[in-house]
Structure 1
Amino acid sequence: MLWVLAVGVVTLIGAEIFLRLRYGLGNPPLYVADARTGYRLAPHQNLRRRGNRIAINAYSMRGPAIAPQRAADTLRVLMVGDSIVNGGWWTDQAELLSLRVQTALELLKPAQFQQVEVLNASANSWGPRNELGYVLRFGTFEAQVLLLVLNTDDLFAVAPHSHDLGRSPQYPTRRPPLALAEAIARRRKYTPSVELQALYDQGSDRVGVNLEAIRQLKQVVEAAGGQLAIAMTPLRRELDGGPRDYEQVARQRLTAFAQAEGIPYLDFLPQLQQTRYEALYFDHIHLSAEGNRWVGQALAEFVAEVWHPSPEAALPPPHAPLGDLW
């Protein structure tokens, strides 16, 4: 019987090594709770998932270390968004949407700049209130442009929270003891907490609240001497049959809001409907590496077209009126 036990132990050790080396299990990206953002990626992480490198800097950005102050010869863009911008485990660090924008913008930058930096402040399932919270927490890093990248679902995002942080296998706060333990946890059906379900069951106008968050984000960015621009990527099913009725209404509200507020807005739905978009999507919502290149080029052209110099801020960004959104 000892040989049976030995075979079992060797099999488990082999499975553990395989899951770690092949899939990166046992070392997931970790999250921390935050009163403003609800949650964000824990700072100072460097790991691999399914062969793709994931690096998180001191400011919970997916990217290399940065200086909080912008160099005078640099055009700096702060991209904020959800998993579209973040890229998740399926996107290698070298294929990030933010890096694609940076590469394309290098060729389009105004003559007074020697270099371009595109910062990536994002996390899975963030919405406008999470992104506003991030800027309130860390500031704009002296970016001349803050590029808010939304997808259709973001218009219906709930308030920032950390209810399922550390409970959901998608949002761990500590390393699992074994890669096998993580694999088992991810295969189990997960039921959201009562508190999170209550947020989704609220009958408030979530679209209106999220538009107000964008309006307040514009205030904060402009007070810091920057400019806000918005881009929207559609769900893949919207490219086949068009948005559903409630999505179309929400999109129309965003378009009217951006026009009223004077915010440059790029909606990718018409562009993608006129191209062969199948290879541009990784799944029903997220972009593939090719999609990041395609969308990144268009975003760089958008930034280069809409950016214009603005005076430095004379007043600090307002804080007091923002409490109602939480």
Structure 2
Amino acid sequence: MRFARVLFLGDSVTWGGERIDQADTYPELFEERYGKWCSRPVEALNASAGSWGIGNLRAYAERFGFFGSDLVVLQIGERDLTQPMSDSTGIGSLCTSPRSAPVLAVQEAFKCFGPRLLNRLKKWMSWNEAGQNQEKTPSTSTEAVDEQEKRQFEKNMEHLQALITDIRASEKPIAVLYNPLREHVGPNGGEPPPWYGKFRSRLDRQNVPMIDLQSMWKNKEGANKYYRDYIHPNQRGNVALAKVISRFFRDEYPQICR
């Protein structure tokens, strides 16, 4: 029997992280939900990792392909627009990316959270000694940061264009899932960054469908409760994502279920 296979390429939002069970990630929930509507068995493939940027999605696809999928979804978050391509320098040095299991749980807890607590304590002590109203001089000017982000955004758009070209060359439909920061959703949410509009315009020119959570959740009451932190969805958020994606596919790509 032929499956309706959907490949999700993304970062930690798609991966789920260590706080979300695999069964509760939105690709898994989508598979279950969409399978109830689809006339064929649905298979959701999850190719994602923490801190992946758009360049990493491109590199993965160029190496491994699309696994015979009927549709490819690119999950791209707000910060991914100006994020450099991640490498392996943190593996073994970051507590979230160990090379081996710790001897004791308390050892891992101290290694991960001890330095953070000490740094916060030092900052608190320095802040109190200097006074609350002391002005801080930024190490990098706003102009320099903006120029750096602009260059990285353009580089990421090159990665995205190459990825879109490869997907279409394999004659597969494509969709982009865009997820904003928590501070930019809900009735009291702030305005999205300037790169959001540029990104959306580029997708429109390429005729790439976009599941735009920024516009969907901008004025949605309670949308900020879909997050467990500044960007990652909690269990409730993953359920909401699965619903949105399933509905989108039923409307835009009914042919993959036939």
Q: For the residues of structure 2 that align with 1:147 and 1:189, how far apart are their CA atoms?
A: 38
Say whether residues 1:297 and 2:223 are aligned partners. no
Aligned counterpart, 2:5: 76
Aligned counterpart, 2:169: 223
Give the one of 23, 46, 55 matched to 1:129. 55
Query: For structure 1, which segment, 234-243 or 293-302, has the greater mean C-alpha deviation from structure 2 after superposition?
Result: 234-243
How far did 1:224 drift?
A: 2.2
Q: For the residues of structure 2 that align with 1:101 and 1:275, how far apart are their CA atoms?
A: 23
SS in 2 for 1:141: coil
Aligned counterpart, 1:94: 23
Q: For the residues of structure 2 that align with 1:283 and 1:267, how far apart are their CA atoms?
A: 20
- The RMSD of aligned alpha carbons is 2.3
Say whether residues 1:282 and 2:232 are aligned partners. no
CA contact (8 A) 1:98 1:296 kept: yes
Give the one of 156, 174, 178 matched to 2:104. 178
Q: For the residues of structure 2 that align with 1:261 and 1:207, how far apart are their CA atoms?
A: 17
Q: Structure 1 or 2: larger helix share?
A: 2
Q: For the residues of structure 1 that align with 2:161 and 2:248, how far apart are their CA atoms?
A: 20
Aligned counterpart, 1:307: 253
Consecutive unaligned residues of structure 1, counting only runs of 5 or more, are 1-71, 192-200, 311-326
SS in 1 for 2:6: strand
Aligned counterpart, 1:243: 191
SS in 1 for 2:115: coil
The within-5 A match list for 1:1-326 is: 73-109=2-38, 111=39, 114-189=40-115, 203=148, 205-239=151-185, 240-244=188-192, 247=193, 249-272=194-217, 273-307=219-253
CA contact (8 A) 2:11 2:49 kept: yes
CA contact (8 A) 2:15 2:46 kept: yes
Aligned counterpart, 1:61: none
CA contact (8 A) 1:142 1:226 kept: no
CA contact (8 A) 2:52 2:85 kept: no
Aligned counterpart, 1:8: none
CA contact (8 A) 2:9 2:47 kept: yes
Q: For the residues of structure 1 that align with 2:86 and 2:18, how far apart are their CA atoms?
A: 22
Q: Structure 1 or 2: larger strand share?
A: 1
Q: For the residues of structure 2 that align with 1:309 and 1:103, how far apart are their CA atoms?
A: 18
CA contact (8 A) 2:82 2:153 kept: yes
SS in 2 for 1:103: helix
In the superposition, the TM-score normalised over structure 2's length comes to: 0.80
How far did 1:122 drift?
A: 0.9
Q: For the residues of structure 2 that align with 1:117 and 1:148, how far apart are their CA atoms?
A: 16
CA contact (8 A) 2:51 2:86 kept: no
Query: For structure 1, which segment, 286-295 or 297-306, has the greater mean C-alpha deviation from structure 2 after superposition?
Result: 297-306
Q: Over residues 266-288 of structure 1, what are the superposed CA-to-partner deviations in whole Å (9 max), with x where a residue is unaligned? A: 21122222232243111221111
Q: For the residues of structure 2 that align with 1:208 and 1:217, how far apart are their CA atoms?
A: 14
Aligned length: 225
Q: Percent identity?
A: 25
CA contact (8 A) 2:14 2:27 kept: yes
Q: Which of structures 1 and 2 has the larger relative contact order (alpha carbons within 8 angstroms, sep 6+)?
A: 2
